[in-house]
């Protein structure tokens, strides 16, 4: 029989990212990304370290599972340069 402290919700490290289904993994990542700013501003040093560690673990697992994930052109360096060039061209007088 398991000890109550061994329950998944009581383990400080959380459920292994490898054990999460794809939908749960994505949900957990969304939750961490949503709470990052608040944890950064108001969380204890320990909470921030734990948040950073868990985010890294889940992001690494996501990238492992989806190495060919969709990357939007605008989210690349080339896309950023194209936006900057377009913005400069629009700001020039006619």
pLDDT band at 11 (very low <50, low <70, confident <90, very high): low
Assess if residue 2 is contained within a domain.
Answer: no
Could you tell me the residue range of the domain that residue 50 belongs to?
7-91
**Residues 24/58, Cβ–Cβ less than 8 Å:** no
Residue-wise pLDDT tens digits, 75-87? 788 888 888 888 8
E strands in the chain: none
Assess if residue 29 is contained within a domain.
Answer: yes
The model's pTM: 0.70
Assess if residue 31 is contained within a domain.
Answer: yes
Residues 76 and 71: their CA atoms lie apart, in Å, by 8
Residue-wise pLDDT tens digits, 32-77? 999 999 999 999 999 999 999 999 999 999 999 999 998 888 878 8
Instruction: Count the domains in the chain.
Output: 1
Assess if residue 1 is contained within a domain.
Answer: no
Residue 93 in this model has a pLDDT that exceeds 50: yes
């Amino acid at each position: 029989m398991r000890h109550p402290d061994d329950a998944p919700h009581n383990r400080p490290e959380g459920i292994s990212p490898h054990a999460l289904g794809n939908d749960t993994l994505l949900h957990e990542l969304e939750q961490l990304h949503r709470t990052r700013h608040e944890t950064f501003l108001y969380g204890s040093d320990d909470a921030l370290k734990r948040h950073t560690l868990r985010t890294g673990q889940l992001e690494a697992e996501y990238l492992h599972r989806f190495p060919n994930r969709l990357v939007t052109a605008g989210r690349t360096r080339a896309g950023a340069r194209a936006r900057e060039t377009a913005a400069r061209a629009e700001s020039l007088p006619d």
